[in-house]
Amino acid sequence: MSMRERRAGRRRGWIAALVVGAALVGSAPAARAAVPLERVGDFGPNPGALGMYVYRPAGLPPDPAVVVALHGCTQSAQVYADNSGLSTFADRYHFLLVFPETTSANNANRCFNFFEPGDNRRGQGEAASIRQMVARAAADYGTDPARVYVTGLSAGGAMTAVMLAAYPEVFRAGAVVAGIPYGCADTVAGAYTCMSPGVDRSPAAWAESVRDARPGYGGPWPRVAVWHGDQDTTVVPGNADELRDQWTAVHGLGQVPDRTAAVGPDGTRREQYLAADGSVAVEVDRVPSIGHGTPVDPGTGPQQCGATGTAHFIRSICSSYWITGFFGLDGSGPGTGALPAPAGLSATGATDTSVTLAWDGVGGAASYAVYRDGARIATPAGPPFTDTGLGPGSTHTYAVAARDGTGAEGARSAGISASTTGAPPKCWTADNYQQVRAGRATTGGGHAFARGSNQDMGLYTTFTTHTLKESPAGYFVIADGPGSCP
């Protein structure tokens, strides 16, 4: 019996936990064509014994970006390609997709071995094989080494964190879907504990695990997005908080979000943590009312993607749309097209939760890109445009760019500031006991948790005090830092 076969046998018990209770929402879709993947038979050194598959969309440019996509347990490269919706945006924005695939010879339920020291270290096992796939993609397809990204679900999400920590110089950004922090587990028993009830460490301790994975590396560190269903009982939502703590600390940031908003059709709660230059270094997206899986939103709309009917793909929000945007692959960087900047941008109306914008049309424009606080939020056909889901009494900066028929953006307009109506968010400072009694926090396991965000406030006692900010109504976040509350 080989070493990998012996390791597979040890995993049979705990791997079942990754699939028990997985959400499967919606009816089976109509028959659809499989995403055409190319198998790369020999991609070089492969100590992790993985398979490599590539999706190459039509119109791939000479130096495309590449996204590495890591499937979840019981899945395959083909299943992940067919259901996650990533190929929709590879077609739209012309980037290469690489799908690593593990097998039952490696792991009884075809999970990436994020918890094995022989697979989750730089230069070893599966981590080294995935790194080699990136090198092969550069050699075969001319991919841009400055635009390499990684994402994955569950065990693939945990392996995403491995790749970001072990190879920070390779990956510009990553998105962890229903995963766990790097360094949480090096054993089967540890993996169980990380999944549920979770492991609580200080941000500094989590950050040290990342820095130890690549000794001597001084940055820049990858940007990280975290996606998690708030009803996940397989990999508990507290892992999203621990991932946030890990990567904000790596970036030298605090754990109080600089911006919060609701996005998508389901009101996914977005928390963003900004670097000194105003870019989003870390983002947490908490998807309401779903369990363990990749959030998808089947359909043909501009923000829709994916398919349900297969385990671990849950009808909610098209996470791949927002992840593509977080990576900057949707053209949300500075425009390179020839169209001039729109003139006359102004705010023509506002409510407690929305701002309406208008601007002068640009000849030859097929659509427009609207930016809020530096991030592209929509591509309407023309003015007016109403930005919704904002907080009362909040102020934002907007700009607009014209897009030609190919989607290339021209110059952005000058920015304007606009505010919603209503009172700004409310804040309360009190001990944890009083916060719970007032309904602003809940309790569990002897700790208090901010209602809505589920941020851990520490022990449920009168000796621990926090400031909680409410925005929107009923959703509270810890706001202890200077300037965190208006």
Let me know: does 77 contact 317? Beta carbons within 8 Å.
no
247: enclosing H helix or E strand: helix 238-250
- Supply the DSSP symbol for 373: T
Residues shown for the chain = 486
Active site residue 154: yes
Residues whose CB is less than 8 angstroms from the CB of residue 151 and which lie 6 or more positions away in sequence, other chains included = 67, 68, 69, 70, 86, 157, 160, 174, 175, 176, 177, 323
DSSP state of 1: -
Catalytic residue selected from 84, 87, 129, 154: 154
Residue 136 backbone dihedrals phi, psi, to 5 degrees: -65, -40
CB of 162 closer than 8 Å to CB of 100 = no
Asked if 248 contacts 281 with a C-beta cutoff of 8 angstroms, the reply is yes
Identify the bridge partners of residue 282 per DSSP, sorted by sequence position.
Answer: 224, 273
Amino acid sitting at position 478: I
| CB half-sphere exposure, 86, CA atoms < 13 A | 33
Contact 315, 297 (CB under 8 A): yes
Q: Strand 355-358 to strand 385-387: parallel, antiparallel, or no bridges (unpaired)?
A: antiparallel
Contact 371, 399 (CB under 8 A): yes
Residue 433: in which H helix or E strand, if any? helix 432-437
Which residues does 91 contact at the CB level (< 8 Å), separation at least 6? Answer: 57, 58
Q: In sequence order, what DSSP letters do the residues of 122-156 get, joined into one string?
A: TTSHHHHHHHHHHHHHHHHH---TTSEEEEEETHH
Integer Cα distance of 150 and 127 in angstroms: 12
Alpha helices in 260-401 (DSSP H): 319-326
ω into 220 cis (within 30 of 0): yes
Partners of 476 in the beta sheet? Answer: 452, 470
DSSP 297: B
Amino acid at 347: A
Write out the catalytic residue numbers. Answer: 154
